[in-house]
A = this chain, B = another copy of it.
């Protein structure tokens, strides 16, 4: 979402009337979907803002480094792209910049010369780990309105939701 609005006004998902489309005549599932989307937007926007303020970095950059951190041997560009949690990012553009800054390295695949492997450099790993510790603290703070029991239930229901969509009827997989 590199093109996310940069308006200075408070975006709706931070307004009290965030679920505008949601009225009584709407079905429970539709209201639930809008609430899920509103929560995700809200948390994402807080994390973006703080990454910018404290590390002068963006969420797609952070996400890309996070994916590489999980893969010590590196990833092919295509796999990296599929693993990104932030949608809409220009992966190649970000990778070019990170390489120029010495945070990732790139290497042609031994077999398929058109394919590239990318991995974090030692400097990149150090840089990511510093951010990751702080990022995790933010996430903990954002979720601290829920008890451990609440979080457990929420994770369980989201797991059910995901499993149903991924393994459900052919209709759902369209």
Binding site for B on A (CB under 8 A): 1-5, 7, 9-16, 18, 20-21, 23, 26-44, 46, 49-50, 53, 66-67, 69-70, 78, 81-85, 87-91, 136, 139-146, 148, 150-155, 157-166, 168, 171-172, 174
Number of identical monomers bound together in the oligomeric complex: 2
Residue in B closest to A141 when the chains form the complex, CB atoms:
B172
Q: A154 contacts which of B20, B32, B90 (Cβ < 8 Å)?
A: B32
A43 touches B36 (CB 8 A): yes
B29 touches A139 (CB 8 A): yes
Chain B residues whose CB sits within 8 angstroms of the CB of A23 once the complex forms: 70
Q: A171 contacts which of B32, B141, B166 (Cβ < 8 Å)?
A: B141
Please list the 5 inter-chain residue pairs (A to B) with the smallest Cβ-Cβ separation, ordered nearest first.
Answer: A145-B164, A29-B143, A40-B40, A154-B157, A1-B88
Given the contacts A27-B139, A41-B85, A41-B87, A158 and B4 also touching, CB distance less than 8 Å: no
Given the contacts A1-B88, A141-B171, A151 and B42 also touching, CB distance less than 8 Å: no
Chain B residues whose CB sits within 8 angstroms of the CB of A150 once the complex forms: 157, 160
Chain B residues whose CB sits within 8 angstroms of the CB of A166 once the complex forms: 14, 16, 42
Residue in B closest to A147 when the chains form the complex, CB atoms:
B160
Extra contacts, 12 of them, besides A11-B82, A20-B67, A26-B136 (Cβ < 8 A), are A7-B81, A9-B81, A27-B140, A29-B140, A30-B139, A33-B139, A39-B162, A42-B166, A46-B165, A146-B164, A150-B157, A154-B157
